[in-house]
Amino acid sequence: MINKEVKNAVEACKDIKSGMTIMLGGFGLCGIPENCIQTLVNKEINNLTCISNNAGVDDFGLGLLLQKRQIKKMVSSYVGENDEFERQMLSGELEVDLIPQGSLAERCRAGGAGIPAFFTPAGYGTEVGQGKEVRKFNGKPHILETALTADYAIVKAWKGDKAGNLIYKGTARNFNPPMAMAGKITIAEVEELVEPGELNPNEIHTPGIFVQHIFQGEKYEKRIEQRTVIKN
C-alpha cells in the first residue's frame, strides 16, 4: 500500500504555484485546511482562483489570502462574513462567481465523478442563469451548470491514515468530500494520522484513491464564526 504521508503543510503545498485553481474544503470556519492556507500565505503566490463555499473572515481562513491580495477570483456561495471580500468585490479588484450552495456542491461532485455538466432549476430567472442554456423537464425550466475541477483540492479531515483514507466530523463533511474527488492533486490535512488498517472501512468518507498527500496538522483554532451570548 502506498504511503502518502508528507512531513507538513510546507512539503504538501510545495508545488502549488501562482495562477493555479485551488478548491478549499470547509463550511464556514468548520473543517477548513488552516495549516495549508497559512502556508499559501507564507509562499506569497498570487493570481489564485479559489473555489470554496465561504471566503473565511477578515483575519482567518481565506480572509488571510484576501488580505494579501493573493486571490484573483473567488468561486463561492456564502461570503457575508468577510468585509475585505466585500470591499474588493465592489471595487472591482476581485473577480467573483457567486453560485447557489447546492449547485456549487453538485458542480464539485460532478467534477469528481467525471460528469461534465447537469441541469438544475436553481438560479433560473436570476443573474445566476444569465447566458446559460435552458431546457424544460416536466414542464419546469432548468439551467445548464458545468462541473468544477481544480489543479489542487485542499481538504481537512478529522482522521486519516497514511494511505489517504479520510473520515470527517460533523459539518466538515459538507464540502470536503466532493472537493477531495475533484482536484487533479488532493492534499489532506488531518487532526489525527494513523496507520493503514486502523480506520473502520465502513466509516471512511473519502477513499485514499483520491488523495495524493496527507499530513497531520497542528494548532487548530476551531473558531466560532459568529459568537452570540446572552447578557447577564
In this structure, what CATH number is given to the domain that contains residue 199?
Answer: 3.40.1080.10
**Residue 84: helix, strand or coil by DSSP?**
helix
Whether residue 4 is contained in a domain is answered as no
Contact yes or no for 192/166 (Cβ under 8 A): no
Which pLDDT belongs to residue 227? 77
Which pLDDT belongs to residue 78? 86
Helix, strand, coil in percent for the chain, rounding step 5? 25, 30, 45
Which pLDDT belongs to residue 181? 98
Which pLDDT belongs to residue 82? 84
Q: List the grid coordinates of 111.
A: 467534477
Q: Which amino acid is at 18?
A: S
Number of domains in the chain: 1
pTM of the model: 0.92
Whether residue 43 is contained in a domain is answered as yes
For the chain, 232 residues long, give each residue's pLDDT as a single digit of tens: 789 999 999 999 999 999 999 999 999 889 999 999 999 999 999 999 999 999 888 889 999 999 999 999 999 998 877 889 989 999 999 999 999 999 999 999 999 999 999 999 999 999 999 999 999 999 999 999 999 999 999 999 999 999 999 999 999 999 999 999 999 999 999 999 999 999 999 999 999 999 999 999 988 887 777 778 888 7
Q: Which amino acid is at 6?
A: V
Contact yes or no for 115/145 (Cβ under 8 A): no
Whether residue 106 is contained in a domain is answered as yes
| Host H or E run for residue 189 | strand 183-194
**Residue 18: helix, strand or coil by DSSP?**
coil
Of 107, 93, 12, 10, nearest to 51 by C-alpha is 107
Whether residue 153 is contained in a domain is answered as yes
Q: Which amino acid is at 186?
A: T
Whether residue 207 is contained in a domain is answered as yes
Q: d(Cα 100, Cα 129) in Å, to the nearest integer?
A: 11
Whether residue 3 is contained in a domain is answered as no
Whether residue 85 is contained in a domain is answered as yes
Whether residue 138 is contained in a domain is answered as no
Q: List the grid coordinates of 91.
A: 471595487
Q: Which residue range(s) make up the domain with 70?
A: 9-117+149-216
